[in-house]
Amino acid sequence: MRTYLHIHLNNHTVDKEERSGEDLVKIGRYYIAKTLLDMGVATVDPMAAENPLIFSAGPLAGTSFSNANRTSVGCKSPLTGGIKEANGGGTFGYALGQLNLTGLTLHGASDDWVVIHLRKDGGIDFDSADAYLGKGNYEAAALLHERYGKKVSLALCGPVGEYGGLLAGVAFSDTDRRPARLAARGGVGAVMGNKRVKAIVADLDKMPVLYDRKSVLQDVRGYAKKLQDDPVVMGFYNALGTMSMADYMNYVGGLPVRNF
């Protein structure tokens, strides 16, 4: 069982709900799409306060299971007018999992720019973001780490998102505390900026409570061994990186050039 947060920016209050079973497994893209449909967001201006911004982490977030700590960010896209799920790596999903959180939704918009701090003791603070406004992601991240320490992960709205630039993404901390991982598609950073949320700071804590910890850790090791033994994973992705897929996708016609 994990907790989901509904953060109401208009009055800086938080509602919590517990998720388990199928509701926990279906978090992520499915939850984003279903929530936006159920809320009738199709009729909402994507840059209005009524457009929710959803951060969602998977059921194994907070563990060392490969690929389990990515973060889905969703809203009505200001670029396309449709449902958007932008996916990013880094440590933010890992931090949410360690806080026993499966995600959060930002409702409404704050009157003033804020930093939302998700504390490991369960508390949630709304701090002034004035000191970080107008600064590039790396400078802002360094200042945030000065304030909140090294054992945190950030979801950061950059200067383009601050002024509502529609190409803005949401930057996540990597393992070296750099805001170098991005949920980049669909203008999700513009929606975050429109809500006047400069950053969400999540404390890093410890692996969440698991129903059968021994079995989970055994499966983590087993899956890691399969990846290490796979020649494509180790000889292609590990050697050349994710961007090595660009040449292959171009070869099979998967890049959106010349109208496909």
pLDDT score at 55: 98
Beta bridge partner(s), residue 260: none
Assess contact for 172 and 89: CB atoms under 8 A: yes
**pTM over the 0.85 mark:** yes
pLDDT of residue 102: 94
Strands (E), the chain: 2-8, 13-19, 53-57, 71-76, 83-88, 101-107, 114-118, 124-128, 152-157, 170-172, 181-183, 197-203
Task: Tell whether domain 2-203 is in CATH 3.40.50.300.
Answer: no
pLDDT at 260: 63
Amino acid letter at 76?
Answer: K
Tokens describing residue 177: 């505390």
Tell me the residue type at 86: A
Mean pLDDT per 10-residue segment, the chain (260 residues): 96 95 88 94 96 94 89 96 94 96 97 98 97 97 98 98 96 96 96 98 90 89 91 82 83 80
Among 17, 213, 191, smallest CA distance to 103 is for 17
Domain boundaries, the chain: 2-203, 213-251
- Residue 232: the pLDDT is 82
For residue 67, the model assigns a pLDDT of 85
Q: Evaluate whether 122 touches 23 at the Cβ level (below 8 Å).
A: no
